[in-house]
Amino acid sequence: MNSLRALYPAAEAIARRPVATLLLLAAALTPLLVASTGVRPDNSLASWFVAGDPALERYEAFLGEYGSDEAILVGFDVPEGAHSPEGIALQRRIAARLGEVDGVARVMAGGELPPPLARGLVAADGRAAAVVAWMDVRDDIGDVRGRIIEDVRKDVGAELDPLGRTAHFAGNGVLYEGLNQQTMRDTGVFLSLALVVMVVLLRIGLGSMRAVAFALGAPLLASMAAIGVLGLSGRPFTVVGSALPTLVLVIALPDAIHVLL
């Protein structure tokens, strides 16, 4: 109780100067709210380690020696045979296109390898094959990964669509990009559902939409500010971190209601 009483003078000072308080609050929150709009999801392998972790250092050493482990594996049917002249020509055309994509370091076509070495890239019956494209090692890979994958999809489609064939995509790069997209979708879905439930329950409990707006205003700002802090700290926004906005909102809401009541 003594600690709470110590806050009374500060609360009275804030109540006497509402305009100044709002200006100071806006000045403090604006950088965080701006930073929150620039947060991008990152679910790559390195984002799950802390700086200095021996496992991360070995991983980075591997990348420095052997290049990126982010690969795009493109699989497709080759009815004429992966090792037939027509099948090899098709794979070479696709590989040549992918080699021209900005951000692709190297490409390998399974059908161009001798049968013993092509295992895993050519089906056992030879009627399906895969082309693998490795991305460049670059600091901005999280920003350009989606564009690289989309360019690869377009170039592969340019060769396979006229033949009526469908490509299937896999690999680390595709997985990371899929996780990033799912992270943003999960954040939007969970936050939206939480808001809908809160608005309905608060409307029933508080009796007016004005009270609901007051109750949710501060928690929503706190939720966005938390994302801003995450962005300014340089920490990645992972699929686990996607729960942060909803978590802050749920924790802050009872405090806001307590103040109102």
159-200: pLDDT as tens digits = 999 999 999 999 988 988 888 888 888 888 888 888 888 888
Q: Is the pLDDT of residue 261 over 70?
A: no
Q: Is 133 left (phi over 0), alpha (psi -120 to 50) or beta?
A: beta
Ranked by mean pLDDT, which of 21-25, 123-127, 214-218 comes out on top? 123-127
**Model confidence over 54-93: pLDDT tens digits?**
988 888 888 888 878 889 999 999 999 988 999 999 999 9
- Give the 3-state secondary structure of residue 82: coil
Q: What CATH class does 71-170 carry?
A: alpha beta
Ranked by mean pLDDT, which of 38-52, 132-146, 210-224, 238-252 comes out on top? 132-146
pLDDT for residue 3: 60
What does each C-alpha distance from 139 to 17, 107, 229 come to in angstroms?
Answer: 47, 21, 22
Ranked by mean pLDDT, which of 30-39, 107-116, 120-129, 200-209 comes out on top? 120-129
DSSP H or E segment with residue 35: helix 18-37
What does each C-alpha distance from 239 to 107, 141, 209 come to in angstroms?
Answer: 30, 18, 33
For the chain, domain boundaries: 71-170
Q: Is the pLDDT of residue 201 over 90?
A: no
Q: Is the pLDDT of residue 147 over 70?
A: yes
**Model confidence over 91-106: pLDDT tens digits?**
999 999 999 999 999 9
What average pLDDT score do residues 119-130 get? Answer: 89
Nearest Cα residue to 233 out of 52, 71, 58, 36: 36
pLDDT for residue 131: 95
Q: Is the pLDDT of residue 15 over 80?
A: no
